[in-house]
Each structure stands twice: as structure tokens, then as C-alpha cells.
């Protein structure tokens, strides 16, 4: 029997607002514990929440970009549960009336050697809530290699408590780990384009819970699902889903039941494990938050949000193709990250050489050095890349020298011209200074010369290579070829 995988994803995004969801504290990552707090986000007796308008504006952007129906009447509810990182022991969230529902997100799928296909994944709901604080479990300092032991207490950092969170719940319409991966990528791309979240899994600004079940292909009814929580990278999401799908399928094939439970992904052992938790059955006792009045989203407000909405990735891609007459492939590469697209559009996209630099050596160097595009852009601003392109166009350096120069630009923050001058990397086209090098190469490679003269014309490439090497890459390969041919043929 064939089995089918059904996946639903719940994504939590921290919104990058100036202040927290219900108070004026700064919303910032990485500060000293408990320095970004006030009576409101500490849940002190007597405090009251006030809704952050910017957070709601950002949330509406997301709802619109995900093609959701925006309800004109929405409210907040309390989700009650006890946990030390939750100052009030209830979280202000949205229960039965999320502000956005019934949307969709298109994802692009590539399977080996098949053309790109698009699949539409339904979005059940998008709602706003406040983040919790964080628990720190201090460990006894131990000699390297020894087992760590935890101290007998935990510490609470409430800097994150009250940071606005957007929860995006997909419909169970994702049918493979690859689709889940593509969904997360597309979602991240849109949210970054909307400029509402960093979507950085390492910093916890994007978190993902997954639900996976398996059913016999063709069945309408969903199988028993397992929830996998707290996965902290896209790659791990995919790996966890691959593992879990296999685990469940094997159970079903053996005729054993899948238990509904919450599991955790163990990165080291690469398996999912049941969460050790007695109090699985939560009763959150939701009820309308009495400290906040319902939110009315009128047409004027929505209009204002639409007006301020940044360009979405698909729209941008279409525009780039038309505006700069570049290929779809080039466009897809240049827009894979918003920062890169912004960089390209601030200059480099307009000249062919600069564009090719971005598509070639820039991507290569970023991958090699494993740095973010943003870091590259800070050290090599677009005008510096344009200047490098100019040096190439004017043939001041050999094209093969570009990688070296860009590397030095990235290290030093200097311009291409400064590096080329400072290190004497200018291309040498002057025949009188190239001739002695070429003669030397001919003299030292008698066998290859003989091959060439014997009719094996391609042997000249090897000689050109030798000359380039001898000139430390600076020789103009075109001139070298001409001179070599002249000297050999005579």
C-alpha cells in the first residue's frame, strides 16, 4: 500500500517593532537579562496592557501578503497556563477571532530534472500574541569533556516577555518534507520583504512547530498526528519531518498505531523522541481579555497599511525582468534575499559586468566564507562593486583577477582601484614587457612547443596558462595569445 504524508506548520515570528506588544519597553535581542522590562511586561499587580499599533500594522501586512480575509472585528483572549517564563501566568493571544484567516501561499518546487512547479498551500489563520520570557538553567562549570550537571535552580530573563509574535498556521496541505522546506523558505522571504521580522531561527525570531501524520494514499480522513516542537533550523525541520514520516509509515506498515503526542527533534541522534511531559492535556481556559477593548479594523486603516506595504517578492521579480531586461533565472538569483535585491537595484543591476559579478564571484565568496549578504554589503557597498566592474570593463585588470581583488575589498573595505594600485595588479598589455616572459616560457616548454608545431593547436592553452602564472595573473590573455601565436608560427 502507498502512504501519503500530511504536514501542517505553525510558524511563530517575532515582529521587529520598536517596542513590545503591550508596553513601551524596547524590543531588542541580546541585551543583559531583565534590562528591557517594566511593570507591564513583568506582570506586576495592577498593570494594564495597551496594544502596540505598529505591531498591528505589521500583522496586517502579513495577513494581506498571505492573501487572507481580514476581519473588521477582532479581539484578544487570555490563554491561561502556569509557567515561570510567563509573568502573568496567562498569555494575551487570539483565540476564536483571529484578525486574518483563509489565505494562501504559493511555493515553488523543483524535483530532479523537472521544470519548476508551483503549489498553493492554504493558510488557516494569522494571529497576534505576546512572547514569553526565557528560562536559564545554570550549569556547574566542569573540566572539559566531563558530564555537565545542572545547578539546583533556574533563572528567568523577561526581556523577551511581551515581544510581539505573529502566529501563522498553515492548512494540512503540505505533503512532503521538501514542500515544508519550500513553504518555510517562501514564508521567510515574504516576511523579510515585508520588513516585519528578521526571521532568524538562531535568534529565535522564527520558530516552527510541525504536525505530521501519515495515511493510506487516497484516504480522506487524516491519520493520527504527532507534533514536533522547538526545531531551530530549516534543515532540521526537514530532517525531523523525513525521520518522522518514515517512523510513522513503518508503524502503519507493521499494523501498529501512531500515538498522538508531542515529540522533540534530537539533533545529535537525528531522531524524534517523545517529550517527557506529564501534563500533556492542556486546558488553556481561553476567555476574552477584559483589559483590552475589541479592535475594529476599518477600511481606512487597511488602506493605510496597503499604502505602506513594501513590494512583495513576486511583484519585484516581474518588475525587474521588465525594467532591466534580465532573464528569469538571473532575477530569481538576485532576489533570493531581499538584501541582495536591494543591493542590486541600488546600482549593480544596471550594468552587465556588475550583474555578472553578483551572480558569480559575489555569491561564490559569500558561500565560501559563510557570511550573510548583509555583512558583505556593509563591507562592499554597491558603489565599490560598480567600480570593480568598471576596472574590468576598462581592462585595467584581467577578469581572472577579479576574485582576488574582491576578496581583498571584503577584507579591507577598500575600493578596487586602491587595491589594484597598491598591489600592482594592473593588467599588463604592453608587448615589450610581455615578450621576454613568453620567450622564456617557449624555451622551457620544448615538448609542448613541439606538439603545437606538430599540429596540436590546442597546446597553446597550456602555454598561455604558463605565461599567466609567470606574470602572476596580470598578463592580458588576449595579447599573450596573439604574441605566442606570432612567435611560434614564425
Partner 1 sequence: MELYKHTALEIRDMVLDKKVSSTDVVKDTFKRIDSVEPKIKAYLTLCKETALAQAGKIDEKIRKGEKIGQLAGIPIAIKDNISTQGIKTTCASKILSNFTPPYDAYVIKRIKEEDGIIIGKTNLDEFAMGSSCENSAFGPTHNPHDLSRVPGGSSGGSAAAIASDMAFISLGSDTGGSIRQPAALCGVVGLKPTYGAVSRYGLVAFASSLDQIGPITKDVRDAALMMNVIAGYDPQDSTSVKEFNSSKVEWFKRLEDGVKGLKIGIPKEYFAEGIDKDISKSVYQSIGLLEKLGAKTIDISLPHTEYGIATYYIIAPSEASSNLARYDGVHYGYRTTDYTDLMSMYHKSRSEGFGPEVKRRIMLGTFALSSGYYDAYYLRALKVRRLIKNDFDEAFKKADVILSPTSPIPAFKMGEKLDDPLQMYLCDVMTVSANLAGIPGISIPSGFTKSKLPVGLQILGKPFEEETILRVARTFERETDYHKTKPVI
Interaction pattern, residues 188-217, with Zn ion; x per rule: CB under 5 A? ------------------------------
Interaction pattern, residues 344-383, with Zn ion; x per rule: CB under 5 A? ----------------------------------------
51 binds, among partner 1, Zn ion, none (CB under 5 to 8 A by kind): partner 1
Q: Least distance from C-beta 32 to Zn ion, angstroms? A: 15
73 binds, among partner 1, Zn ion, none (CB under 5 to 8 A by kind): none
Indicate the residue among 159 and 248 with the shorter CB distance to Zn ion.
Answer: 159
Q: Least distance from C-beta 56 to partner 1, angstroms? A: 13
- Interatomic CA distance for residues 53 and 164, integer angstroms: 11
207 and 34 Cβ atoms separated by less than 8 Å:
no
Indicate the residue among 44 and 222 with the shorter CB distance to partner 1.
Answer: 44
Q: Least distance from C-beta 20 to Zn ion, angstroms? A: 5
Binding site for partner 1 (CB under 8 A): 39, 42-51, 78, 80, 82, 84, 87-90, 156, 283, 285-287, 290-293
- Interatomic CA distance for residues 316 and 36, integer angstroms: 37
Tell me the CB-side half-sphere exposure of residue 386, using CA atoms within 13 A: 12
Count the site residues for Zn ion by CB under 5 A.
5
With both helix axes pointing from N to C terminus, report the angle between 431-444 and 446-453 in degrees, rounded to the nearest 10: 100
SS3 221: coil
Q: Least distance from C-beta 130 to Zn ion, angstroms? A: 10
* 59 Cα distance to chain centroid: 20
Q: Least distance from C-beta 31 to Zn ion, angstroms? A: 13
* Binding positions for Zn ion, 27-56, rule CB under 5 A: 38, 40-41
- Interatomic CA distance for residues 265 and 58, integer angstroms: 31
41 binds, among Zn ion, partner 1, none (CB under 5 to 8 A by kind): Zn ion
φ, ψ (nearest 5 deg) of residue 197: -155, 150
Q: Least distance from C-beta 37 to Zn ion, angstroms? A: 5
Residues 6+ apart with CB under 8 A from 358: 334, 340, 343, 344, 348, 385
φ, ψ (nearest 5 deg) of residue 134: -135, 140
Place of cell 529565535: 204
Indicate the residue among 189 and 289 with the shorter CB distance to Zn ion.
Answer: 289
Indicate the residue among 116 and 135 with the shorter CB distance to partner 1.
Answer: 135
Closest by CA position to 187, among listed 353, 12, 371, 51 = 12
Indicate the residue among 288 and 407 with the shorter CB distance to partner 1.
Answer: 288
Indicate the residue among 11 and 86 with the shorter CB distance to partner 1.
Answer: 86
Q: Rg (Cα) of the chain, in Å, rounded? A: 30
Closest by CA position to 185, among listed 358, 336, 384, 377 = 336
Indicate the residue among 42 and 97 with the shorter CB distance to partner 1.
Answer: 42
Task: Point out which residues bind Zn ion (CB under 5 A).
Answer: 23, 25, 38, 40-41
Amino acid at each position: 500500500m502507498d502512504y501519503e504524508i500530511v504536514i501542517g506548520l505553525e510558524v511563530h515570528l517575532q515582529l521587529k517593532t520598536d517596542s513590545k506588544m503591550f508596553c513601551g519597553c524596547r524590543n531588542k535581542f541580546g541585551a543583559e537579562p531583565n534590562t528591557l522590562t517594566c511593570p507591564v511586561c513583568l506582570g506586576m499587580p495592577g498593570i494594564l496592557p495597551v496594544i502596540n499599533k505598529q505591531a498591528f500594522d505589521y500583522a496586517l501586512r502579513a495577513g494581506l501578503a498571505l492573501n487572507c480575509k481580514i476581519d473588521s472585528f477582532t479581539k484578544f483572549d487570555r490563554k491561561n497556563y502556569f509557567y515561570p517564563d510567563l509573568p502573568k501566568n496567562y498569555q494575551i493571544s487570539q483565540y476564536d477571532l483571529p484578525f486574518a484567516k483563509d489565505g494562501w501561499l504559493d511555493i515553488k518546487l523543483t524535483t530532479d530534472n523537472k521544470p519548476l512547479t508551483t503549489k498553493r498551500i492554504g493558510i488557516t489563520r494569522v494571529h497576534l500574541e505576546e512572547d514569553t520570557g526565557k528560562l536559564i538553567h545554570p550549569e556547574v562549570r566542569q573540566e572539559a569533556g566531563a558530564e555537565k550537571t545542572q545547578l539546583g535552580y533556574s533563572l528567568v530573563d523577561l526581556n523577551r516577555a511581551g515581544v510581539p509574535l505573529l502566529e501563522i498556521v498553515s492548512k494540512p496541505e503540505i505533503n512532503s518534507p521538501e514542500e515544508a522546506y519550500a513553504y518555510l523558505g517562501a514564508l521567510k522571504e515574504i516576511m523579510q520583504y515585508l520588513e516585519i521580522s528578521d526571521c532568524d531561527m538562531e535568534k529565535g525570531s522564527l520558530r516552527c512547530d510541525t504536525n505530521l501524520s501519515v495515511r493510506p494514499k487516497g484516504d480522506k480522513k487524516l491519520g493520527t498526528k504527532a507534533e514536533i516542537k522547538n526545531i531551530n533550523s530549516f534543515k532540521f525541520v526537514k530532517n525531523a519531518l523525513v525521520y518522522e514520516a518514515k517512523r510513522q509509515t513503518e508503524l502503519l506498515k507493521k499494523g501498529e498505531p501512531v500515538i498522538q503526542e508531542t515529540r522533540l527533534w534530537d539533533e545529535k541522534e537525528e531522531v524524534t523522541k517523545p517529550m517527557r511531559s506529564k501534563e500533556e492535556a492542556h486546558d488553556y481556559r481561553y476567555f476574552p481579555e477584559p483589559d483590552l477593548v475589541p479592535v475594529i479594523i476599518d477600511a481606512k486603516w487597511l488602506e493605510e497599511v496597503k499604502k505602506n506595504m513594501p513590494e512583495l517578492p513576486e511583484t519585484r521579480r516581474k518588475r525587474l525582468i521588465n525594467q532591466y531586461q534580465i532573464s528569469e533565472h538571473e532575477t530569481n538569483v538576485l532576489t533570493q534575499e531581499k538584501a541582495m535585491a536591494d543591493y542590486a537595484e541600488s546600482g549593480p543591476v544596471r550594468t552587465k559586468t556588475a550583474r555578472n559579478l553578483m551572480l558569480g564571484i559575489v555569491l561564490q565568496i559569500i558561500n565560501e566564507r559563510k557570511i550573510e549578504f548583509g555583512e558583505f554589503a556593509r563591507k562592499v557597498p554597491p558603489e565599490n562593486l560598480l567600480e570593480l566592474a568598471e576596472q574590468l570593463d576598462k581592462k585595467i585588470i584581467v577578469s581572472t583577477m577579479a576574485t582576488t581583488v574582491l576578496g581583498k575589498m571584503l577584507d579591507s573595505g577598500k575600493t578596487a582601484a586602491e587595491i589594484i594600485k597598491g598591489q600592482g595588479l594592473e593588467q599588463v598589455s604592453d608587448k615589450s614587457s610581455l615578450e621576454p616572459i613568453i620567450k622564456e616560457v617557449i624555451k622551457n616548454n620544448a615538448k609542448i612547443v613541439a606538439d603545437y608545431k606538430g599540429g596540436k593547436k590546442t597546446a597553446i592553452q597550456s602555454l598561455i596558462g604558463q605565461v599567466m602564472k609567470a606574470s602572476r595573473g596580470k598578463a592580458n590573455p588576449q595579447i599573450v595569445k596573439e604574441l605566442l601565436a606570432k612567435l611560434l608560427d614564425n
